[in-house]
Structure 1
Amino acid sequence: MGIFALLEDDEKENVEFKTSLSEIGEILKTISAFSNKRGGTILVGVNNDRDVVGVDIGTNTLERLANNIRRETDPKIFPFIDYFEQDDKTVISIEVSESTSKPVFYRDKAYIRVGRTNQKLSSTEIRNLITTEHRVTSWDEQAVTEASFEDVDRNKLTDFLKLAVLKRNLDLDPKSPVEEALSRLDLLRDGKLTNAAILLFGKNPQKFVLQAFTQCGKFKGVDTVEFEDMHDFNGTIIDQRDDALRFAEKHIRRSARIEGSERVEEFEYPIESIREAITNAICHRDYRINSNVQLRIFDDRMEIWGCGPLPEPLTVEDLKKTHDSIRRNPLIAGALFKIGFIERWGTGTQRIINFCLEQGLPEPLFEIKSGSLVVTLRKYKYTESMKRELSLRQQNAMEYLIKNGKITNREYREINPEIKEDAALNDLKDLVDKGLISLKARGRYSYYVLC
């Protein structure tokens, strides 16, 4: 159900309204309760009568909220946090998935959703919950009871099997009947199609998993204020991967160089890194969250947004080194391994890093934003966190550099009319000392470029 539709319904078991973030204690109880049941959505800025009262959002409001939730829950919960505008007022949505590690505690107490209330679990109920939840079936293994074999695209399944035979020497005839092939691929449960089967080979996967699409956007400048091109890609997750990669290739610059007698084309970001990041996002996202994978292309960077946090116990620091391959969607991951899209060694993120470094680009960033993993490929070392450390004049200069490629002392003064030549020189020297720009040439012909 969409966020706006939630406002039309009475508060029920999987929806809760809060007027403001000052009710953080009750919000955290609800997060514990949703995590221990079937998940749900909290709308902050809406009263119990479903009137939108709105909330004020500052620069780091959502980030602080996400950090607070992680700090106060055990095991740590990473809900999807976003905001939207309704009647010119801001509403925060907190989407909580059912936890695979129950019970979830808030301040040493565990809660569960009963009707429209959060009930504290007794010690006996906690023991029972642990006993009954010791083996939680992953989302992609669950059967789609309303789907039938008529919903499977035979041609896509055949193409998959042909590629799997080629890439991994899969012992399965591409001409096998649909039911036999899916059974051999472990994509059936009690004779029914699994979520993984629908996403991999469905004729219309979004009929059953509405949020299973990939959104791509090319924006003007360095923020999301204005976009040049935007497209939502539906179909199977294999199709979405290929479509998103083509979108990226369309909107990033390419150059050519001569190696020996051959002309070699090179994109401004390594295609291998983009492909790996998109594949990881689609493979490992939390499909229970009512959001979508996003590819955002800016003048200075490219961001690949997954849905949901890293599976525990992985951290963003682990992604920069050898780590275990922990799969949120084991059936999807197994299928993508069979056709050579991923490996099983937890090396994908290291390859993303290495391809960028080999091309002379800064190391990619791995961050949790609003409860989701974001991979950022950068042209330059300049980041949003660095931006906050600069003066407004220096920020103007960095934006000018991103758009124009270089800047002189004179141009620095033209975009900052109130400044004198010596002060401009000091500002530019400070940017050099911070490693953000470098000086080219000397004397009257000197200019600066981004690092």
Structure 2
Amino acid sequence: MPESQNTEWKSRWKDEYLEWICGYANAQGGKIYIGCDDSGKIVGVPNACKLLEDIPNKVRDAMGIIVGVNLMNESGKEYIEIDVPPYPIGISCKGIYYYRSGSTRQILTGPALEAFLMRKRGATWDNLPLPAFSLDDVDDETVKHFKQWAARKGRIDQSVLDEPKDVLMEKLHLMNGPYLTNAAMLLFSKDPEKWQLGAYVKIGYFETDADLLYQDEIHGSILEQIDKIVELVYLKYMKAKITYEGMQRIERYFVPEEALREALLNSLCHKRYQSGVPIQISVYEDKLYIANCGCLPESWTLENLMGKHASSPYNPNIAHVFYLAGFIESWGRGIEKICAACQKDGVPQPEYTINPGDIMIKFTAPEERIVRVTEKVTEKVTEKVTDKEQELLILLTEDPGYTMPQLAERLRLSRKTVAARLKKLKEAGLIQRIGSDRKGYWKLSNQDRCNPH
């Protein structure tokens, strides 16, 4: 029988195995067999009777807990079974907290240790009181928007939405005693970073892993962030494959909007905000990553995550407000909806990677959806323009039919600024306008160097 998440085979006893016992006690429990090789074959242990006395004492002295230590015998060979139950409180081994994750032993420190101890106490970070955050810091405009979203969805009684904001905060479970909570701060503060570093989203466009072409940051209430992120990703970062059916223009992105929105909502609900690290969205011409400092629920594996499961948000109070606003459901169907949206749109299923410090989702573009824009501008062209003008030139290479308002919207700039940059590109001999402002198009003068692939 091979080793597993809950079973370890050891040929002889070492005191360092106390750390493994601690890890089991803090996770789901498990068994360690002393006197077995790595395949589980019984090889026996010569000092079994002595270990039967020593191990319980060592465990008690190092951790203050009791484990089952049993003498086993098979074919005349004695070996020891150590049966470790899961403990409802955090257990340390000589002052250090260990945790069994998969088949590895991890040392818990910093935010991970804080989150672990809170879980053991039945508390969550988003429900911790934040005395420095008061009702005066609750943004009235964000409260107004929440009331509008919640009223449309109908998941909360209108009489609650009509309450003043102090009563509303209490009804939304955003009070802990006399204080507003971390969740209230993230949801309803105009500037949550005043109280919690990293409470924003960073977006970057990469040519290669080492070459960041441009980037943006989305700040403010996490309730308000989601629409801003989606809008920015589609307007500025992700390139649509453009086709025409007769006179109708068809734009198709390689990540369906429903899938992207659901993935972002998952990140906002499950993030370990105490890490101080922003959610990071990395966009390439053929893939998109969302990296989030989060963790799976205790004892979950990637298989649990991808299968049907109950809702278990890391920040339940944040998730509750998102649910009332109509942003999410409460049935743990987020990943199912992401996969269904990708399947419906004919793009590959997303890939999840679980790292010790974060969870990453990757969307990959099928070949027919890739718009290759990173090879358009050669070094000779680049020398003539600034980075901002090059960004505009890339957009025109992607779609020469862009109008001035569309360019301004994609770049999130004023029309006046876009007009000034277009003028510089025309003066440099790189572009010219063919036809009218409304029905014409942009011709790139360096077509031999700037043609789409």
Fold shared, TM-score > 0.5 on shorter chain? yes
Bigger Rg, structure 1 or 2: 2
Would the alpha carbon gap of residues 30 and 157 (structure 1) be closer, same or farther in structure 2, given more than 3 Å must change? farther
Q: Aligned-pair RMSD on alpha carbons?
A: 3.8
The residue aligned with 1:347 is 333
1:207-356 matches, cutoff 5 A? 207-221=194-208, 223=209, 225-249=210-234, 250-256=236-242, 264-356=250-342
CA contact (8 A) 2:20 2:100 kept: no
Please give the TM-score of this superposition, normalised by the length of structure 2. Answer: 0.56
Counterpart amino acid of residue 236 in structure 1: S
Secondary structure at 2:158 match in 1: coil
1:238 & 1:27 partners in 2: Cα distance?
Answer: 42
| Consecutive unaligned residues in structure 1, runs of 5 or more | 1-23, 43-66, 80-93, 103-132, 382-398, 406-451
CA gap 1:313/1:27 in 2 versus in 1, 3 angstroms:
closer
Shift of 1:25: 11
What percent identity do the matched residue pairs reach? 29
Kept after mapping to 1: 8 A contact 2:238/2:285: no
Q: Deviations over 1:117-139 (max 9, x none)?
A: xxxxxxxxxxxxxxxx8542111
Deviation at 1:376, TM superposition (A): 0.4
Matching residue of 2:424: none
Aligned to 2:177: 190
Q: Distance in 1 between matches of 2:204 and 2:22?
A: 34
Pairwise CA distance, 1:340: 1.4
Distance 1:218 1:188, change over 3 A: same
1:318 is displaced (CA, Å) by 2.4
Go from structure 1 to structure 2 and tell me whether the alpha carbon gap of 1:172 and 1:375 turns closer, same or farther (over 3 Å shift): same
Q: Conserved in 2, the CA contact under 8 Å of 1:95 and 1:290? A: no
- Quote how far apart the aligned CAs of 1:299 are: 2.3
Q: What residue in structure 2 maps to residue 82 of structure 1?
A: none
* Structure 2: runs of 5 or more not aligned: 1-15, 27-61, 63-88, 377-453
Q: Given that residues 270 and 295 in structure 2 are in contact (C-alpha distance below 8 angstroms), is that contact kept between their aligned partners in structure 1?
A: no
Change (3 A) 1:29 1:295: farther
TM-score, normalised on structure 1?
Answer: 0.56
What is the match of residue 160 of structure 1? 146
C-alpha change, 1:278 and 1:168, in structure 2 (3 Å) is same
**Residues of 2 paired with 1:78 and 1:260: CA distance?**
61
After TM superposition, give the deviation of residue 287 of structure 1 in Å.
1.4
Deviation sequence 1:211-261 (CA, Å, 0-9, x none): 21111111113x1x1111112222111222222212211211224556799
Once the two structures are TM-superposed, the CA of residue 69 in structure 1 deviates from its matched residue by: 7.1
Shift of 1:164: 0.4
Amino acid in the other structure paired with 2:201: T
**C-alpha separation between the residues in 2 aligned to 1:37 and 1:183?**
34
| Residue 375 (str. 1) matches residue 391 (str. 2) | no
Corresponding residue of 1:96? 112
Counterpart secondary structure, 1:211 = coil
Number of aligned positions between the proteins: 289
2:124 matched residue in structure 1: 138
- In the other structure, the counterpart of 2:344 is 358
Which residue matches 1:129? none
Match of 2:135 among 136, 149, 159: 149
1:228/1:319 CA distance change after superposition, 3 Å:
same
CA pair 147-361 structure 1, distance change in 2 beyond 3 A: same
Query: How far off is 1:363 after superposition?
Result: 1.5
**Are 1:215 and 1:230, in contact at CA under 8 Å, matched by a contact in 2?**
yes
Q: Secondary structure at the match of 2:123?
A: coil
User: Following the alignment from structure 2 to structure 1, what is the Cα–Cα distance between the partners of residues 268 and 364?
Assistant: 21
Relative to 1, partners in 2 of residues 1:150 and 1:28: Cα closer, same or farther, differing over 3 Å? farther
- CA-CA distance at 1:377 after TM superposition: 0.4
User: How has the CA–CA distance of structure 1 residues 261 and 25 changed in structure 2, closer, same or farther, with 3 Å as cutoff?
Assistant: farther
Indicate conservation of the 8 Å contact 1:78/1:308, yes or no.
Answer: no
Quick one: distance in 2 between partners of 1:227 and 1:342? Answer: 32
Are the counterparts in 1 of residues 22 and 91 from structure 2 also a CA contact under 8 Å? no
Secondary structure in 2 aligned to 1:220?
strand
Deviation at 1:30, TM superposition (A): 12
The secondary structure found in structure 1 opposite 2:202 is strand
What SS does the aligned partner of 1:100 have? helix
